[in-house]
Amino acid sequence: MDGGFGAAGGAMAIEARWCARNYRPLPVVISRAKGVWLWDSDGRRYLDMMSAYSAVNVGHGHPRVLDALQQQAGRVAVVSRAFHTDRLGPFLARLCALAGLDAACPMNTGAEAVETAIKAARRWGHRVKGIPDGHAEIIVAEGNFHGRTTTIVGFSSEADYRDGFGPFAPGFRAVPFGDAAAVEAAIGPHTAAVLVEPIQGEAGIVVPPGGYLRRLREICDRHGVLLILDEVQSGLGRTGAWFAFEHEGIRPDGLCLGKALGGGVMPVSAFVARRGLIDMFEPGNHGSTFGGNPLAAAVGEAALAVIEEEGLVARSAELGAHLMERLRRIDSPLVREVRGRGLWVGVEIDPARVSARAVCEELMRRGVLSKETHETVIRLAPPLVIDRETLDHGIDRLEEALAALAAGPAAA
């Protein structure tokens, strides 16, 4: 079956034959995972320093999440929202209480949560602000990543995300990320909302200037515009707070969540908002077959309980500070900048010396897995359950990889 390539080679060959080539994985075949560790098909162990883009904040195979999954799957997994269930209400009540918002629309993926936010903002702009139907504008940030749907990639500033996928929906204006003055200058009579990530993940863990979110909140209040934050990656403890907006003491009108909400075992997302915004939805005008199903609700509630009761937010803050301190002490000609917050850090590599992909491949050979973004940045985002000793192990391997690559091919 493996065509003489061995177990790993056979698996990669079969995937290459039958799977769309919309990813370029590292040459490793993962067959098992537990906590912060991954094992390949040959039994070699790797430290997970990526967490599936923050989807695995509570670690792989957390027993409380698996128990919730198994127990609920044995009762009822999926029923239509045409009926009530005993799982959805408690899950959303817990989520809204943590976010300090009024109600939520459950969905499946982060992109769906963002699409839900866009629909709610446009209808709010028309019904509440009086913007003519079909003319609502949303201000976004350059370098954004909010998902892969045609609406969302239409306002991306990355040419590769847009190439050949048009025509795109109008109604979006992009301004430089981190520039609150540019946001205010872009607001017009048809502006319904500002939609931004508090920290841009896919762009390379780009942290805006201090006070950026606070200024956006003031600007939106002054102009009667919604502030919607996409915390699909940054939310649920990743930055050392439950939500990145808490670092600046503000609260958005709407919040997009996903990834970690599924406890690392299934897709769960939600658009959480204040009552005047979430009430733009009425029976029949928005929905999802699987959104809010009882299995997802049970898993989501368990994931939130784990983060809260195991103190993972505080751990992210404490170990994140240690991670930044150690990375900034690395003396390597390959490193241009280290930036991030909590257990979410980007190490920018000098592309004139080596590619970020090469660093990730060298890390893989040393038993640590992560992934580059935009060819120049190494993402470091371990599960929040990691301990200090294991985190230091990962940092040591990165330091070794950088030293080997700086010394040349023979050393690597």
Active-site residues, by number, are 145, 230, 259
Straight-line distance from the first to the last Cα atom of the chain, in angstroms, rounded to the nearest whole number: 33
CB 85 within 8 A of CB 79: yes
Q: Are strands 377-380 and 372-373 parallel, antiparallel or unpaired?
A: antiparallel
Question: Could you tell me which of 38, 39, 45, 73 has the C-alpha nearest to residue 59?
Answer: 38
Residues 263 and 128: their CA atoms lie apart, in Å, by 36
Q: Which residues contact 255 (CB under 8 A, 6 or more apart)?
A: 99, 101, 228, 229, 231, 235, 243, 245, 271, 272, 273
Q: Which of 153, 143, 150, 240 is nearest to 196 (CA)?
A: 143
| Residue tagged 């992909």 (tokens) | 357
Q: For the purposes of burial, counting CB atoms within 10 Å of the CB of 161, is it exposed (0-12), middle (13-18) or buried (19 or more)?
A: middle
Q: Are 234 and 203 in contact (CB under 8 A)?
A: no
Placement of tokens 């976010």 in the chain:
99
CA distances from 395 to 47, 322, 327 (A): 11, 10, 7
Measure Cα distances from 277 to 26, 107, 193, 225, 226 in Å: 42, 16, 11, 12, 9
Counting Cβ atoms within 10 Å, is residue 305 exposed (0-12), middle (13-18) or buried (19+)?
A: middle
Q: Do the Cβ atoms of 212 and 238 come closer than 8 Å?
A: no
User: Taken in order 177, 178, 179, 185, is the CA torsion positive or negative?
Assistant: positive
| Euclidean distance between CA atoms 295 and 280, whole angstroms | 26
The CA distances from residue 31 to 40, 44, 69, 332, in Å, are 5, 10, 20, 34
C-beta separation of 186 from 173 below 8 A? yes
